Structures are given as C-alpha cells and as structure tokens.
Structure 1
C-alpha cells in the first residue's frame, strides 16, 4: 500500500509517499516539497501547484491520499491562501480517483508522537524512527507530509484488513 501524505500550502506544499509492506514495516518511497514563487499571481501559483501535484500522482501512482485539514489561526489572509492551495490539491487527488482522508494537526501529532500537542522536533524524530531514516527529513514541510501518510496508514489499517 502506497499513501501520498500532503501538508498543504500555496508557497510550499510538503508531500511524502510512504509504503507499507506486507510485514507492516513502513518505507519512505519519496518526499519533498512543491514550491511556487512568491511574486507570482495567485491564479498562476495555484495552476503550478495543481500541475505539480498531478505529475507527482501520475509518476508514483499512490493507492490513496491523505491531507492535513486547515488549521485556522490568527492570520485570516494566510488561511485563505492555504485553503485555495488545498482546494486545487483536492481537485488533483479527486481527478486521479484516489480515496482521500483528512486529518487534523492534533490527530497527526497523536498518531505519530502519542501526544496531540507534540512539538515539531518530537514529530520529526518520531517520523525518522518510524521510517528508519538516517536523518530527519528536510525541509519541515516534507517531514509533515510523511507524517500525514503514516497517520493514514495506521488509521486505515483495520479497514484494509477487513477487505482482505
């Protein structure tokens, strides 16, 4: 099972592809970020994000996708732009026919570190250990994408066992 995990953004979108092997071990198949230039008009940035996400899906052909829900903080403008990016990502995933699950930041932290208010460094170290990586995945957004994928694989494990 290969899951594409996504930490959405307009400037930087983190992604991680995590494969679960038959013995239950997890492997980072690929991870990284999609970035768009800051001074580019928003419609063009959204189009770039959509094209890059579609290409990533076509190249790796994941079995499912998971995306972090929008965390609404104090900055409304940032929340709106992230929501726009999230929308084009969801479109690319839906167009590819992928099953999509969504997780709150606290759910991801709980699944990875066992604590819903875990600090970023705790999350990154747990992701490194769970995927048996030599180093913490960089940049941070890529590590977050891996965390979303791991969360989905763990959350959907019983559902998948019922279908086997």
Structure 2
C-alpha cells in the first residue's frame, strides 16, 4: 500500500539567518519543492524575531506543510548566543503552532547521523549529501542545506517507522 505523501518543512533556526526547506516525503524518493534563507542580520532585536515569524507564517500559508522538522537547540559556550537562538526558535515554533502544524524536533547529531552517517559531519558534507539525496543540480546554501537535512531526517525516521524521541535517547538504527 502506497503511503500518502506529506510535505515536510525543515527549519534551521538562526538569529541572523534562518534556513528553510520543503520536501514531499516518499519512501524511496523525497521530492524537493523549495529552500532558502531568511536573512534578518540588518535588523535588530524584536524586529528580527518579527521578520522570522512573518516569513515562516508566509511559507506555511503558501506551501501548507503537514509537519515542521526543526533542530533542537544545543548548549552553546556563550549563554547570550543560546538565549538569542532560543528566541528565534521560539517564534518559529509559535508560527507552526498558530497554523496547527505538528512539530518534530531533532538534535544536530541526529540529523547529521541520518543524512551523512556521521553525527559530527561538516557543513560541506551535509550540503553534498542533501544535493545528492534530492538530486539537485547544485548544492544549496549552508543554512538551507541544514534545513533540508532536517526535513530529510524526519522523512527517513517516518519512512522507517522510528519514533524520534526514542532515537534521541541514544538508540541506533
């Protein structure tokens, strides 16, 4: 029985640049729809958050994703950076909640392990694998590639019937 295709919005949150990417799920062949980067570095404070929120809302309205896959925040050495990133992530989660889009969270290690095979893969490796998995003619921008990798990670987990919460506790597949 063919599983219904789902649109997955992957997001790589950032306080200056937020990557996004949308794929349609498929057990053997996820399809690329769109990706890009929301750039807010020229704004300050609350205006950045507002622009991220509005941009994510516009993407959700236009593409009607079935789920949002987002990277979990990991602990930074700089607490101020962690707080700033947490704020950006918060407005993204709020936008998804406003449109009743379910949210799935993955650690950067989960995403990289799933896409590249190594939990500490570099940005170039992620870009290369995303380009190959989605059969793109060129590598996406770094932040967009990270977002697409998050969407691909969710697609992989769901196609295998794996609960991401169980995997985040250290299990391997």
* TM-score, normalized by the shorter chain, greater than 0.5: yes
5+ residue gaps, structure 1: none
Alpha-carbon distance between aligned partners in 1 of 2:131 and 2:92, rounded to the nearest angstrom = 26
Deviations 1:121-140 (A, max 9, x none): 111111111000111112x1
Which of the residues 29, 36, 39 maps onto 2:33?
29
Q: Tell me what 1:44 maps to.
A: 47
Q: 1:156 aligns with which of 158, 161, 164?
A: 158
Q: Does 2:17 correspond to 1:17?
A: no
Higher helix share: 1
Q: Secondary structure at the match of 1:137?
A: coil
Q: 2:105 aligns with which of 102, 105, 112?
A: 102
Q: Aligned pairs, how many?
A: 157
Deviation of the 1:110 alpha carbon: 0.5
Deviations 1:8-67 (A, max 9, x none): 01211000001124x6311210000111143x3311211111111101100000111100
- Helix, strand or coil for the counterpart of 1:92? helix
2 CA distance for matches of 1:35 and 1:143? Answer: 15
Question: Bigger relative contact order, structure 1 or 2, given CA contacts below 8 A and separation 6+?
Answer: 1
1:73-112 correspondence runs (5 A): 73-112=76-115
Please identify runs of 4+ aligned residues in structure 1 that moved more than 2 A. Answer: none
Q: TM-score, normalised by structure 2?
A: 0.86
**TM-score scaled to structure 1, two decimals?**
0.90
Q: CA RMSD in A?
A: 1.4
| Cα distance in structure 2, aligned partners of 1:127 and 1:37 | 25
Unaligned runs of 5+ in 2: 1-5, 163-173
Q: Residue 104 and residue 18 in structure 1: after superposition, are their counterparts in 2 closer, same or farther (change >3 A)?
A: same
